[in-house]
Amino acid sequence: MLVVVDRNTLQIKAKLLLSERSARVMAINPKTGEVAIGFSDNFIRVFSLRDYRLRNEFKAHNNSVFALSYTPDFNFLISGSRDARLKIWDTEDYQQTGEVVAHLFAINHIAFSPSGEYFATASMDKSIKIWQASEMKLLKVIDKARHAGHGTSVNKLLWLAHRNQLISASDDHTISVWDIRFPDSNSSRQGDS
């Protein structure tokens, strides 16, 4: 269920039953006035922020949708799933424009770099992957074997503009800070954890 609350009065404005299965993630597109929500029934449903009406719904993955992010220009929606795939959807009609088998296990989170040129994915496979956004090209894998990364599922990411740092949080009870260097650096190094 989606519950819409007025920020000023904290009064409930609407309650919408959207699926019999759990809502897992949402992303807001201010350009189109929409919110996309990923569900455990493998669907993404897109609603108007103005009147909360369903604008689009489509089976996006073969398993629960765990991660959603609009590109910085809001022209595309990227989804990640328990099926370990990344998919790209054109926000004009939500037709699929790309797909990558991105990880070994579920994709938990997607975070764009401040420039919008890159994005990172966090996975249950214990890795973080850095991608070139325009081509969906894998540039870097940060994991325990190569970079003393996390020992268990990586759940959340935050990409900071300050010094181009990526922060990751994991089930291993740690938060790590990574200095990400582009384009000619061959390594990302762990800063604080």
Beta bridge partners of 15: 3
Distance of CA 177 to the CA centre of its chain: 18
The answer to whether 165 touches 178, Cβ cutoff 8 Å, is yes
Which tokens go with 63?
Answer: 């398993």
**Spatial distance between the Cα atoms of 21 and 41, rounded to a whole number of angstroms:** 6
Confidence of residue 108 (pLDDT cuts 50, 70, 90): very high
Q: Which pLDDT does position 193 carry in this prediction?
A: 35
Distance of CA 33 to the CA centre of its chain: 19
Residue 146 φ/ψ region, left for φ over 0, alpha for ψ in the -120 to 50 degree band, beta for the rest: alpha
Output DSSP code: residue 144: H
Confidence of residue 148 (pLDDT cuts 50, 70, 90): confident
Q: Which pLDDT does position 187 carry in this prediction?
A: 41
Confidence of residue 188 (pLDDT cuts 50, 70, 90): very low
Confidence of residue 24 (pLDDT cuts 50, 70, 90): very high
Read off the pLDDT of each residue in 13-22 and give the average, rounded to a whole number.
Answer: 88
Read off the pLDDT of each residue in 164-175 and give the average, rounded to a whole number.
Answer: 94
**Spatial distance between the Cα atoms of 150 and 114, rounded to a whole number of angstroms:** 23
Q: Which pLDDT does position 169 carry in this prediction?
A: 96
Q: Which pLDDT does position 192 carry in this prediction?
A: 38
Read off the pLDDT of each residue in 52-75 and give the average, rounded to a whole number.
Answer: 96
DSSP 18-59: --SS-EEEEEEETTTTEEEEEETTSEEEEEETTT--EEEEEE
Q: Which pLDDT does position 154 carry in this prediction?
A: 95
Q: Which pLDDT does position 183 carry in this prediction?
A: 61
Read off the pLDDT of each residue in 142-150 and give the average, rounded to a whole number.
Answer: 86
The CA dihedral of 83, 25, 181, 99, to the nearest 10 degrees, is 40
